[in-house]
Structure 1
Amino acid sequence: MNQRSLTILAIFLSPALAAAPLPNTMMSAPVAISPQARAGIVAQLEARRAQRGLDARHGFTVLVTHPGMQGTQVARVAHTWKGVPIFGSESVVVLDANGRIQSESCSERRIGLGKNAGTAAAVNGPAGDFSVVPALTAKQAIARALASLGADASHVAPPTAEPIVYPVMRTERTAAARDKQEFELNALDVEDVVDHYELAWLVHTRMQVGDKPVYHDTVVSARDGSILDQWNMLQTVVGVGKSQYNGEVPINTTLVDGKYKMIDDTRGTGGKFGAMAITNANHGTSAGNVYVNDTNTWGDGKNYVPKGSTTDANGQTAAVNAMWGLMNTYDALKNIFGWQSLDGHNTATYIAAHVNTAYDNAYYSDTCQCMFIGDGSSFTSLGSIDVIGHEMGHGVTAATSNLTYSGESGGLNESASDINGEVVEAYARAGGKGETIPLDGNDWVLGKEISKSGTPLRWMTKPSKDGSSPDAWSTSIKRIDVHYSSGPNNRMFYFLSQGSNADKASDYYSKYLVKAPANMSGIGLDKAYRIWFKANTTKFTSSTNYADARAKMIEAAEELYGKGGREAIAVQRAYAAINVGADVDE
């Protein structure tokens, strides 16, 4: 079989701007962690139990490993009680070349488990010995979850249920903030504490109602079948190749038996198609087949004509948009960090174009670790570069911090994808090459190109311009949709990169910056993203909230650029600008 990769001749944008010398931040090569190495990680953590007041009933399970910075690997480890994972309680450990733990970032939601009634440690935990024997079976828990959704749906993937110990959380003020008015509270004035524990089933349902995906995670009590919590798991934006948004662009294809397939065999390995690919959902709900063409010129650069062919030149344009976004996202992560594909192990992914009919959405699916792109009705085709970068960002987060898609952690999850979309946009528009992120090139808004009116979906500079997103943290932020609770962190990242403005009438002003100078200095997009990526991939846990994100971002900045440096100070000021922590002088 004659098979070779071809790249279409295209016009490139201007080269990336030069940047200052970089710290040694490239990722290690993907390494498979052996069972013996996993056992070694667990043994090291078990040796630390006594220091934390834990007994042998508290265990550890290695969930996933991925490359860390040069010469290191990262392991994400669940905390367990009698072998059952404690939801949101975990450790992220960085390992040296010999498998020894260099550092540990920890989310402790287990201390009360098994403590005797009346002791100080039992205040937030159940008395005595906490049983892990469920009264409901997994099948019964799935039935309860499905009943709670009330949807006449078909399953995209079979529903599953896993046993967990579920910490029911409550928010308390710190002692120093007891007498503050609600509007005066800063994110560091409150803390999440465990109210009590429930044995539960975590039920994953991935369904379709008509042609619309309906993905949920549901926490079902294993004692009486009540619904303890539930959240939407559809990670979305509402959201020569002749592309719609970037002119003529180079896309890699593969020649097989005289036909050109939209498979890029220079990026990614394995997966469903053996390499990165674009498929044609053809208005259906499944991915469909890989795009095939008689010639190696694709698309017409125009928006998809409703009810038209999905395979002619006009129909191919959505596929060109998707492949251009996929290639640039892959290259940005690999060239800047050495991070390969979504999972860091170079596992190939794919994007399905023309999903459903006139579908105003794009989403990442955890069932296939792939993306689906709609043609739009209120929007034009949803394959703009920032949208593709956003959806692929969900895949990176899923493979690393796996921020729970609810509450503050859900807002941070969405923000991580918005940040990724802006970085990829800047990288692609500067030529898509080099080991640094250019100083500019992105527009700091999400979805402007796909908007028929030209009004963006979200503004990172001043999130409240969309009418729903807050500009700063407040105690109510955990109760709003994650696409809006992402707003403050998006603004933080803009300030960290670009700085603020002291003019109160400016969109770039923050009333929370009260130290000198009033207009904080930014550190540039390249440094800002390196700090964010390091924190998200090596320090955040699934339950990280805004206050914890600030602390982990400061740690990341200090490790990359030094303690007390302008970068760490900028992180503190950028979070202070959104009411997370106190401001400091530069």
Structure 2
Amino acid sequence: MTHHSPAPRTTGRRTAARATALAASAAMVVLALQSGTAATAAGHTASSRDAGATALPLSASQRATALKDAQADAPAAARQLGLGSGEKLVARDVVRDADGTTHTRYERTYDGLPVLGGDLVTHTAKSGDLKGVSKAHKGAISVASTDASLAPAAAKKSALAVSDAKSATAKNVRKVVWAASGKPVLAYETVVTGTQADGTPSELHVVTDAATGKKLYSYEGIENGTGTSEYSGTVTVGSTASAGGGFDLTDGGRGGHKTYDLNGGTSGTGTLFHDADDQWGDGTVTNRQTAAVDAAYGAAETWDYYKSAFNRNGIAGDGKAAYSRVHYGNAYVNAFWSDACFCMTYGDGQSNQHPLTALDVAGHEMSHGLTASTAGLNYSRESGGLNEATSDIFGTSVEFFANNSSDVGDYLIGEKININGNGTPLRYMDKPSKDGGSADYWSKTVGRLDVHYSSGVANHFFYLLSEGSGAKTINGVSYNSPTSNNSTLTGIGRAKAEQIWYKALSTYMTSTTNYAAARTATLQAASDLYGANSAEQQAVAATWTAVNVK
């Protein structure tokens, strides 16, 4: 293993970011300068992009005002959309483009009940004219009655039968209208908590028919993804002077992101990391601060990436940070995101010697928060694959953006954890099937795969759109990406591909978006950004065809 010595002591403003030494992975790949078509880390804003379609940055107060105004306009929007008398809209997000177009994301209620799969996005021109609407459910929302035949206790019993978690407990039962698939029905949503087989907490959401108790849908609320366990060398982290003396690992420059030590616990926040002299970690796994610094660094780079690339003010767009918890459980070999706490959690890996606190882990996990705050892609079936791919896409993008010499950007997922025991990555974006389970191309059975495998179609799309098909070497890593129709593709560059995916996610995708709808959303995003029938939009169409999404 290669080691970096501790960072030298620094002077100056004590609340500023501090240099910290971390260990590098034994599996480090020798990397060269990037070749291929991808843009450099600094090149996120493509010169040919239509500036009018770029989202304007909104401060926390501006966003709050925009949401308040959107809620005041919600009744008029419902009438304009021709919604039924029992339907109401609840504003959840507002995106304003430079050309005056406003994209307003709404949840829907029916007779006061939440409508799952009822979310929609209105697209309004500067003039106030409705340009279009993106709906999770195309038809009307209506059920015969909102009186349930079964009591909530029956929903709990049905939900418990679905869960495989240890110490499962059903709670938080609520009556809803289920509209995410087929005809809307009255239902219950029950959250079953417990512990999954590998030690990951479980927050299983189970939707059951309120008349029959039959399961209609379920998804896991804990979204766990794997990244690298290598460390990032000497980095900077944000700290804040503590009122009682010393320093806390709180990044005041990025929404107040905090990093906590669970110390082997599996609940709560544990203890906020504190240090007397503002020198964090020593590059060894035996120093508890080392994992904390890596997690804090990853969170900072992810925050900066979203700000730089998309003018986004924090993961949820509200200027507030998520938080990180390290040293979860005992020898826990994973990391996960939870919407419930809006936080990332990292285990210490095999024998508590390989904390999963590396750069693309943070980018992957925090991007689950981005998805939850925008499209809200259901974490199951094809929408779940798109959810997981979004985290791979932006985790990879964060890695390229950081331009860290100890962790140079690549299109391999989990290449340093060696989970397979033979040095191979967990996932490959250029040819996903190389992992033995992921799909290269869409088929009717893709939605039956685990979301980490159905994500392969979107991961492959993103790689092909960025870099093109065929053999090439990028940053010292060899790739050879095929196409389903044997077409030859030339990539448009990663920077443009990132912009297209983000705009599609934030303004056109909904909770029920599948691969066919993702094609439509990205084509519209490419049109907005680069023009109808532009080379970029044509590339998006050709690339979806190349992964068999037509």
> After TM superposition, is the score higher than 0.5?
yes
Among 427, 436, 447, which residue is 1:478 paired with? 447
* DSSP 3-state at the match of 2:332: coil
Bigger Cα displacement from structure 2, 420-429 vs 286-295: 286-295
**1:8-407 correspondence runs (5 A):** 8-9=18-19, 16-17=41-42, 20-21=46-47, 22-24=49-51, 25-30=54-59, 31-32=63-64, 33=66, 37-49=70-82, 55-57=84-86, 59-70=87-98, 73-95=102-124, 101-111=130-140, 130-149=144-163, 151-153=165-167, 159-167=171-179, 169=181, 194=182, 196-208=183-195, 212-238=200-226, 245-256=231-242, 257-268=244-255, 275-286=256-267, 287-302=269-284, 304-305=285-286, 314-377=287-350, 380-407=354-381
The match for 2:27 is none
Residue 35 and residue 384 in structure 1: after superposition, are their counterparts in 2 closer, same or farther (change >3 A)? closer
Residue 8 and residue 197 in structure 1: after superposition, are their counterparts in 2 closer, same or farther (change >3 A)? closer
Residue 551 and residue 81 in structure 1: after superposition, are their counterparts in 2 closer, same or farther (change >3 A)? same
* DSSP 3-state at the match of 2:519: helix
* DSSP 3-state at the match of 1:343: coil
* DSSP 3-state at the match of 1:473: coil
* DSSP 3-state at the match of 2:303: helix
**1:496-575 correspondence runs (5 A):** 496-501=465-470, 507-513=480-486, 518-575=487-544
How far 1:551 moved relative to its partner?
Answer: 0.6
The residue identity in structure 2 corresponding to 1:146 is: L
CA distance in 2, matches of 1:146, 1:485: 26
How far 1:225 moved relative to its partner?
Answer: 2.1
How far 1:88 moved relative to its partner?
Answer: 1.6
* DSSP 3-state at the match of 1:163: strand
Kept in 2: contact 1:7–1:250 (CA 8 A): yes
CA distance in 2, matches of 1:167, 1:324: 40
What is the TM-score when the length of structure 1 is the normalising length? Answer: 0.79
Residue 444 and residue 95 in structure 1: after superposition, are their counterparts in 2 closer, same or farther (change >3 A)? same
The number of residue pairs the alignment matches comes to 501
How far 1:78 moved relative to its partner?
Answer: 3.1
How far 1:86 moved relative to its partner?
Answer: 3.6
CA distance in 1, matches of 2:379, 2:275: 39
The residue identity in structure 2 corresponding to 1:290 is: L
Kept in 1: contact 2:91–2:105 (CA 8 A): yes
How far 1:100 moved relative to its partner?
Answer: 6.5
Which deviations, in whole Å up to 9, do the C-alpha atoms of 1:62-120 show, x marking residues without a partner?
25124443456543223444443443233112456797755422233434x66xxxxxx
Residue 490 and residue 16 in structure 1: after superposition, are their counterparts in 2 closer, same or farther (change >3 A)? closer
Kept in 1: contact 2:67–2:92 (CA 8 A): no
Bigger Cα displacement from structure 2, 199-208 vs 531-540: 199-208
How far 1:132 moved relative to its partner?
Answer: 1.9
Residue 93 and residue 86 in structure 1: after superposition, are their counterparts in 2 closer, same or farther (change >3 A)? same
The residue identity in structure 2 corresponding to 1:414 is: E
The match for 1:487 is 456
* DSSP 3-state at the match of 1:507: strand
Kept in 2: contact 1:68–1:94 (CA 8 A): no
The match for 1:443 is 410
Residue 69 and residue 447 in structure 1: after superposition, are their counterparts in 2 closer, same or farther (change >3 A)? farther
* DSSP 3-state at the match of 2:526: helix
Residue 147 and residue 249 in structure 1: after superposition, are their counterparts in 2 closer, same or farther (change >3 A)? same
CA distance in 2, matches of 1:151, 1:108: 31
The residue identity in structure 2 corresponding to 1:384 is: A
CA distance in 1, matches of 2:437, 2:271: 38
The residue identity in structure 1 corresponding to 2:218 is: Q
How far 1:564 moved relative to its partner?
Answer: 0.8
The residue identity in structure 2 corresponding to 1:87 is: L
How far 1:253 moved relative to its partner?
Answer: 0.8
CA distance in 2, matches of 1:571, 1:222: 42
Residue 168 and residue 401 in structure 1: after superposition, are their counterparts in 2 closer, same or farther (change >3 A)? closer
Kept in 1: contact 2:226–2:361 (CA 8 A): no
CA distance in 1, matches of 2:42, 2:310: 17
Higher relative contact order (CA 8 A, sep 6+): 2
Kept in 1: contact 2:67–2:94 (CA 8 A): no
Residue 454 and residue 299 in structure 1: after superposition, are their counterparts in 2 closer, same or farther (change >3 A)? farther
CA distance in 1, matches of 2:298, 2:402: 8
Which deviations, in whole Å up to 9, do the C-alpha atoms of 1:36-74 show, x marking residues without a partner?
64131331232231xxxx6434x2322512444345654
Kept in 1: contact 2:20–2:279 (CA 8 A): no
What is the TM-score when the length of structure 2 is the normalising length? Answer: 0.84
Kept in 2: contact 1:9–1:250 (CA 8 A): yes
Residue 294 and residue 100 in structure 1: after superposition, are their counterparts in 2 closer, same or farther (change >3 A)? farther
The residue identity in structure 1 corresponding to 2:316 is: D
The residue identity in structure 2 corresponding to 1:389 is: G
* DSSP 3-state at the match of 1:470: coil
CA distance in 1, matches of 2:307, 2:127: 25
How far 1:289 moved relative to its partner?
Answer: 1.5
Residue 86 and residue 96 in structure 1: after superposition, are their counterparts in 2 closer, same or farther (change >3 A)? same
How far 1:342 moved relative to its partner?
Answer: 1.3
Kept in 1: contact 2:20–2:281 (CA 8 A): no
Identity among equivalent positions (%) equals 36
Which deviations, in whole Å up to 9, do the C-alpha atoms of 1:419-474 show, x marking residues without a partner?
01000000011699xxxxxxx95210111122264321111111001100010001
CA distance in 2, matches of 1:28, 1:168: 31
How far 1:385 moved relative to its partner?
Answer: 0.8
Q: Which runs of 5+ in 2 are unaligned?
A: 1-12, 22-30, 34-39, 473-477
Kept in 1: contact 2:78–2:89 (CA 8 A): no
The match for 2:10 is none
CA distance in 1, matches of 2:235, 2:531: 40
Which deviations, in whole Å up to 9, do the C-alpha atoms of 1:307-336 show, x marking residues without a partner?
xxxxxxx22111111011000000000122
Kept in 1: contact 2:42–2:401 (CA 8 A): no
Among 368, 384, 398, which residue is 1:410 paired with? 384
CA distance in 2, matches of 1:168, 1:345: 27
Bigger Cα displacement from structure 2, 320-329 vs 248-257: 248-257
